[in-house]
Amino acid sequence: MQMHLRTRGTPRGLDYGFINSAPGTRWWDAYSDWIATERPCLLAVAEDGQEHWRVLLSGIPSARTDSGGRLIYYTLVLEGAYDTAEENEAVVLSLASHLLADLAADEQSRGELSGLLDGLCPAEEVDALLAAPAEHTADRAALTDRLLTAITALEPVRYEAPPGTPTGGSPDGRPRGRGGLPHPAVGPALRHGTGAGASAQPGLRGGGRGRPVPGTTRGPG
């Protein structure tokens, strides 16, 4: 499994970029009709004819701000093969559960994922990596190792149904994922090249091969 982290620096000239490694393509641009990556978003995609799955988590707020006082955000991109080890699927499901739990608490607040990424990415290091994109190879590799170690250690957030909610369901009557995780389509997207996908973003729905699956959007409001 490959993991890529995108954010921006504090100075005006250090715009958003990947600070450890960059994916081969900006594959998520193909889904711009259904998602907006500057907002909190979860996108899991598995397309027919491809041998890999792809997951994007965006809009994760940092405690850092840019030189104009605007909030800075993180985007995580994960990629792996369909025969991915079970532990990789568990990592993605755990990340999804944390992102959705943070959104459910307060879309604008810093949740556990924010704290984890801020702890791994001091402002000075982020600025140095973005200022010299062709340098600091060892530092980028070390950051990737820290990311994988910290994120692999995350325990999934379990969904606690409110009193009176039917077993295995959610307050809106839709089924929950295995183990209480709130997103049933992410796991299948990692295991099969059948066009399965999942999107979690306020107010967005989609459908079709390689697109976000209908009924899997989730977010405040």
For 186-199, what is each residue's pLDDT tens digit?
Answer: 555 555 444 444 45
Structural domain harbouring 162: 2-200
Tell me how crowded residue 136 is: count the other CB atoms within 10 A of its CB.
Answer: 17
pLDDT at 31 over 70: yes
Confirm whether 213 is domain-assigned: no
Statement: the pTM of the whole predicted model exceeds 0.85: no
pLDDT at 37: 77
Helices (H), the chain: 86-105, 112-120, 123-131, 137-152, 186-191
Residue whose token pair is 């996108």: 43
Measured torsion, CA atoms of residues 180, 184, 187, 192, in degrees rounded to the nearest 10: 150
Confirm whether 219 is domain-assigned: no
CA 199 vs. chain centroid, Å, equals: 10
Using CA atoms, how far residue 203 sits from 136, 200, 215, 217, in Å, is 40, 9, 11, 7
Mean of the per-residue pLDDT values for the chain?
77
In angstroms, the CA 180 to CA 157 distance is 8
Confirm whether 63 is domain-assigned: yes
Confirm whether 124 is domain-assigned: yes
Domain count, the chain: 1
Confirm whether 205 is domain-assigned: no
Q: Is 173 exposed, middle or buried (0-12, 13-18, 19+ CB in 10 A)?
A: exposed
Q: Is 73 helix (H, G, I), strand (E, B) or coil?
A: strand
Task: Quote the DSSP letter at residue 175.
Answer: B
